Amino acid sequence: MTHVLSLVTFVPTLGAAVIFLLPRRSDTLVKVTTLVTSVVTFALSLPLYTRFDPAVADYQFVEQAPWMPTLGVSYHLGVDGISLLLVLLTTFLMPLTLLASWDSIERRWKEFAITMLLLETGMLGVFLALDLFLFYIFWEAMLIPMYLIIGIWGGPNRVYAAIKFILYTLTGSLLMLVAILALYFLHGAATGTYTFDLPVLARYVLPAGRAQDLLFLAFALAFAVKVPMWPFHTWLPDAHVEAPTPGSVILAGVLLKMGTYGFLRFCLPLFPQATLAFAPWMFTLAVIGILYGAWVSTVQVDIKKLVAYSSVSHLGFVVLGLFTLNPQGLVGGIIQMVNHGLSTGALFLIVGMLYERRHTRLIADYGGLWTAVPAMSALFLIVCLSSLGLPGLNGFVGEFLILVGAFQVHRLAAVLATAGIIFAAVYLLWMYQRVVFGPVTREENRRLVDLSAREWVILAPVLALIFWIGVYPVAFTSKTEASVQALIAQVQTKAAATTALVPRTP
């Protein structure tokens, strides 16, 4: 399978083309075709895990072909320890999300299916592209399906949320485009080679100074909006609350990771001196995000908005880990991206299942669910404990590694971030207590139906991974370690080299 990355990336697009040709009224056929397409994509992605050599730090399964050679643009795909787990997370979550949409999406299923599959291609392309021009195309193309999912199948304020989402992310993206072009011309002027190829650009030592700082900030702003880091987070609660359940799951599970992935893939290797210079600021913003997200989550009355704000807190941990620039912090950050995708994705799935039954997300409308839906309540508890970092579950592994890495670099940040874990226990367990325990105060809650077979099929694989990562994390961390060590060495070597160069700009 020499073209496995192309297959994984474009099989969803092929499925979308097939669905486009199906009759509009055959919803069942559309649903089955969509689900089969996503399952086939997941199956095609599994060899990436089984055949991946963890001892090799360089890109694997590489595909490269000239696209616009006179402009230095190529079709270049590859995967390493930094992107591998995120690709697998994307292909894993998509079939579960589509299965969760089976009954919750009540209109325009054909258009919804096409949109979701095109979104999957965009997300996978972002993680696999090794050409900046190709990366930017996937980055922008992915915004359109998400905009449609929120704007067409969302809640009452869906248009406002969709426009806010697109404006925020597009603003950051345009700044990144300017930085990509500047990097292209700087590299060409210095070496005589004009290229968008990331491995080639990563070998170029950009002189320290204003140019490197500005390029770092342009890339960082685009990624900070996507994460989202405080104070660029305000689009997220609106998008999450108004998005349908599948939109929320994919938004939290995959889209937010594109920001943290961007820091790893671009900011650190391309702008090492600026990375070191701005690391204290990134620590500060990360810690503020951890604490702010936790505090705001605590006072929410809507379960979905509570989970949305918790993402601001959890992704703050990831950013904290990435900028420690040590093995523990970086491996912890990568694993925590996966953990957040699983735990928060599962929380949104369960909130969606409750909403399908009661058509309300207000905490006050629930209570006493343990007596009515014990199986759902039990799985809900496991996912909440996973999200707050209970030892033995996946969240603990990532947060522990991040805090170990942060303690070596910035002890105050590590201590404050640890307080964020305590606040996570407060908002999650308090919410769970009010929703699940206590007397049944509303008659509608007595008649709720427990998990169906379809819902068990959706949640069981996620829970299996939650326990697997929590008990045996080396199956995942081992895939990332060589790439992380190589990235750290690259940053340190280039940072030392840039200090030896005379800055081009004062």
Q: 115-129, 182-196, 253-267: lowest mean pLDDT where?
A: 182-196
Res. 503: pLDDT tops 50? no
pLDDT range class, residue 506, cuts 50, 70, 90: very low
Q: What is the pLDDT of residue 1?
A: 53
pLDDT range class, residue 505, cuts 50, 70, 90: very low
What percentage of the chain has pLDDT greater than the value 70?
97
Res. 26: pLDDT tops 70? yes
What percentage of the chain has pLDDT greater than the value 90?
25
Q: What is the pLDDT of residue 325?
A: 86
pTM summary value: 0.89
Alpha carbons 104 and 349: distance in angstroms, whole number:
11
Q: 189-193, 324-328, 448-452, 502-506: lowest mean pLDDT where?
A: 502-506
Residue 76 lies in a domain: yes
- State which H helix or E strand residue 67 sits in: strand 60-68
Q: What is the pLDDT of residue 437?
A: 86
pLDDT range class, residue 117, cuts 50, 70, 90: very high
Alpha carbons 272 and 266: distance in angstroms, whole number:
10
Per-residue pLDDT tens digits for 356-391: 888 888 888 888 888 888 888 999 999 999 988 888
Residue 170 lies in a domain: yes
Res. 501: pLDDT tops 70? no
DSSP states along 257-320: HHHHHHIIIIIHHH-HHHHHHHHHHHHHHHHHHHHHHHHHHHT-SBHHHHHHHHHHHHHHHHHH
Structure tokens at 488: 């750290």
Give me the residue label for tokens 């399906």. 145
Q: Which of 85-94, 178-187, 403-412 has the highest mean pLDDT?
A: 85-94
Domain that holds residue 158: 4-499
Asked whether the beta carbons of 439 and 368 are under 8 A apart, the reply is yes
Res. 236: pLDDT tops 90? no
Q: What is the pLDDT of residue 227?
A: 85
Q: What is the pLDDT of residue 499?
A: 58
Mean pLDDT, the chain, integer: 87
Alpha carbons 167 and 163: distance in angstroms, whole number:
6
Residue 137 lies in a domain: yes
What average pLDDT does the segment 240-268 reach? 88
Per-residue pLDDT tens digits for 421-439: 889 889 999 999 888 887 8
Residue 379 lies in a domain: yes
What average pLDDT does the segment 157-184 reach? 88
What average pLDDT does the segment 456-475 reach? 92
What average pLDDT does the segment 394-406 reach? 90
Residue 506 lies in a domain: no
What average pLDDT does the segment 473-482 reach? 89
Residue 504 lies in a domain: no
pLDDT range class, residue 502, cuts 50, 70, 90: very low
Res. 405: pLDDT tops 60? yes
Q: Total domain count for the chain?
A: 1
Residue 505 lies in a domain: no
